[in-house]
């Protein structure tokens, strides 16, 4: 709705600016559908059009402001990291399922870093020696780690000896970022509780 209002405001302003130019050039009397408008050229005609342009621009500005407020509300709690928006929970610890639900309630998903660059940008925001759930699991097929948001294979950066599913911990189906000597990915029991990272878009 805001986009439509904004578009109408801008289109109206442009249309009337063209009409104003025509009026100044003495061509206004040739424009169609002008029964309700003064016919130019003439000072009154130009004043009328200027007022109309100002009203349209005000309408567009109002729509812009409302749109920005809506976006700010939508992004509340998220911060831009790289090219996307993420929410990092530094205090509250929950299991993977609860973390996933919280991210969905915020309008996003548990985060799945797209590549090493984005992963490093996220890691730079994390607190050392802490753990954070991300949106990756192998709940579908043992050897397929997918993004919860897209269902597609996830970018992976396993720590040494991970995923430990391979070494007998078959019940570890959910992935966290774990810090010891730098953050890396670790498969872990989904029921364990830890901090988490949400992404707004995917």
Q: Given the rule CB under 5 A, which residues bind Ca ion?
A: 164, 172, 186-187
Phi, psi of 15 (to 5 degrees): -60, -45
Q: Which is nearer to Ca ion, 56 or 186 (CB)?
A: 186
To Ca ion, the closest distance from the beta carbon of 171 in angstroms equals: 10
Nearer to Ca ion, 67 or 164 (CB): 164
Q: Measured at CB, which residue is nearest to Ca ion? A: 164
Of 84 and 188, CB closest to Ca ion: 188
Please state the closest distance from residue 185 (CB atom) to Ca ion, in A. 9
Q: Cα–Cα distance between 151 and 84 in angstroms, integer? A: 19
Three-state DSSP class for residue 37: coil
Nearer to Ca ion, 179 or 186 (CB): 186
What is the C-alpha to C-alpha distance for residues 173 and 161, in angstroms, rounded to an integer?
A: 15
Helix (H, G, I), strand (E, B) or coil at 126: coil
Query: What separation in angstroms does the CA of 102 have from each of 87, 96, 107, 123?
Result: 11, 10, 9, 21
Q: Considering the complex, what minimum distance in angstroms separates the CB of residue 186 from Ca ion?
A: 5
Cβ at position 132, least distance to Ca ion in Å: 15
């Amino acid at each position: 709705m805001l986009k439509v209002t904004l578009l109408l405001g801008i289109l109206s302003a442009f249309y009337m600016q063209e009409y104003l130019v025509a009026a100044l050039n003495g061509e206004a009397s040739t424009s169609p559908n002008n029964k309700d408008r003064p016919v130019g050229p003439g000072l009154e005609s130009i004043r009328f059009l200027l007022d109309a342009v100002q009203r349209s621009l005000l309408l567009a500005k109002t729509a812009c402001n409302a749109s920005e407020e809506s976006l700010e509300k939508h992004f509340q709690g998220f911060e831009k990291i790289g090219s996307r928006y993420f929410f990092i929970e530094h205090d509250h610890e929950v299991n993977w399922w609860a973390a996933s639900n919280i991210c969905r309630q915020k309008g996003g998903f548990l985060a799945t870093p797209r590549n090493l660059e984005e992963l490093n940008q996220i890691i730079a925001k994390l607190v050392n020696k802490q753990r954070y759930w991300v949106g990756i699991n192998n709940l579908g097929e043992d050897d397929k780690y997918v993004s919860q948001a897209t269902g597609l294979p996830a970018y992976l950066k396993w720590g040494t000896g991970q995923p430990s599913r391979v070494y007998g911990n078959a019940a570890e189906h959910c992935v966290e970022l774990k810090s010891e000597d730098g953050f890396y990915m670790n498969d872990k029991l989904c029921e364990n509780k830890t901090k988490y990272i949400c992404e707004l878009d995917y």
